[in-house]
Amino acid sequence: MIRVAICAPSASLPRELAAEVQHVAASFGDVELTFHDQCFIEQGHFAGSDQQRLDALVECANDANYDAVWFARGGYGSNRIAQDAIARMGPVAQGKIWLGSSDGGYLLGALYKAGIGRSVHAPMPLDIRRDHGADAIGTVLSWLSGDTGQLEPHLDGRPTAAFNLMTLAMLSGTTLMPDLSGHVVMVEEVSEYLYAVDRLFFHVTANLPPSVLGIRLGRVSDIPENDRDFGMTAEEIARHWCDRSGIPFLGTADIGHDAANRIVPFGVTDRNASLGLAGFTLGKPRSWQ
């Protein structure tokens, strides 16, 4: 049995969606989901004040009853609490899997930098709302149940990290930013104009370390219609800035703001190991291994 705590470090989750997610989880006997009440708090843009979101995250992280912490959704805000959260994480947090994407990437990146547990780019509970949303939930639960077929298909044994493009751009240069030297970096984006995608690639390719292994492009979806055509596709943009910066463009990645978003454990993935996480034992602080 894998026990998963769900909290909301960014925006609030509509309460009725928790029941829908639990309904999907009922068919996965090996996984038990617990929604922290903080998920349902609404305060302005956020799922509660910085302090409330921080406290809930730290509580889940340091609770030995849970093997994994799943971020309920993105929406902006986890960057406001990430540094303080890291500082308050105890030994129990070392054995945890962290699941999320989009705005949750601030935490995945910061935890990866700090070497705490295992950061995993994955769909989130809010994705139940999408077309075929149950599939997105099923991707995570099935992977947690041991199905390595849910892993992103291009993972090739080299260190990898996956981010929303805006999140990676904003992480760059901050104290939360992990060292991505020697990594394949996968990026995806949603609801941004193509000129903004171009601007983000300018920034990200200039800020990644020179020894980065390359960039893979996930889906760039729901692009708003502009008053004029940008003149390049998202892939042409990615190729342009990879060429300019000398970073290899490696092709596509099967990630995005959609129900088909696949699992990307940060670091090295071993497809023959449980969850693809070679050398990582659920619920065991690293110091115990």
State yes or no: residue 210 binds a second copy (CB under 8 A): no
State yes or no: residue 153 binds a second copy (CB under 8 A): no
The residue within the footprint of a second copy, chosen from 41, 64, 80, 286 (CB under 8 A), is: 80
State yes or no: residue 15 binds a second copy (CB under 8 A): no
DSSP string computed for the chain: -EEEEEE-SSSPPPHHHHHHHHHHHTT-TTEEEEE-GGGG--BTTBSS-HHHHHHHHHHHHT-TT-SEEEE---SS-GGGTHHHHHHT--GGGGG-EEEE-GGGHHHHHHHHHHT-SEEEE---GGGGGSTTHHHHHHHHHHHHTT-GGGB-TT--SS-EEEEEHHHHHHHTTSTT----TT-EEEEEEES--HHHHHHHHHHHHHHS-TT--EEEEEEEE-PPPPSS--SS-HHHHHHHHHHHHTPPEEEE-S-SSSTTPPBEESB---TTSGGG-TT--TT--GGG-
Instruction: Give the residue with the Cβ less far from a second copy, 34 or 49.
Output: 49
Q: How many residues sit in the footprint of a second copy (CB under 8 A)?
A: 31
State yes or no: residue 211 binds a second copy (CB under 8 A): no
Choose the stretch contacting a second copy; rule: CB under 8 A; options: 27-35, 119-127, 195-203, 263-271: 195-203
For residues 36 to 55, the per-residue mask of contacts with a second copy, x marking binding by CB under 8 A and - elsewhere, is: ------xxxxx---------
State in angstroms the smallest separation of the CB of 82 from a second copy: 10
Choose the stretch contacting a second copy; rule: CB under 8 A; options: 64-72, 94-102, 138-146, 171-179: 171-179
The residue within the footprint of a second copy, chosen from 90, 157, 182, 231 (CB under 8 A), is: 231
Choose the stretch contacting a second copy; rule: CB under 8 A; options: 57-65, 72-80, 134-142, 249-257: 72-80
State yes or no: residue 199 binds a second copy (CB under 8 A): yes
Which residues are at the interface with a second copy (CB under 8 A)? 42-46, 76-77, 79-80, 166, 169-170, 172-175, 194-195, 198-200, 202-203, 206-207, 226, 228-232
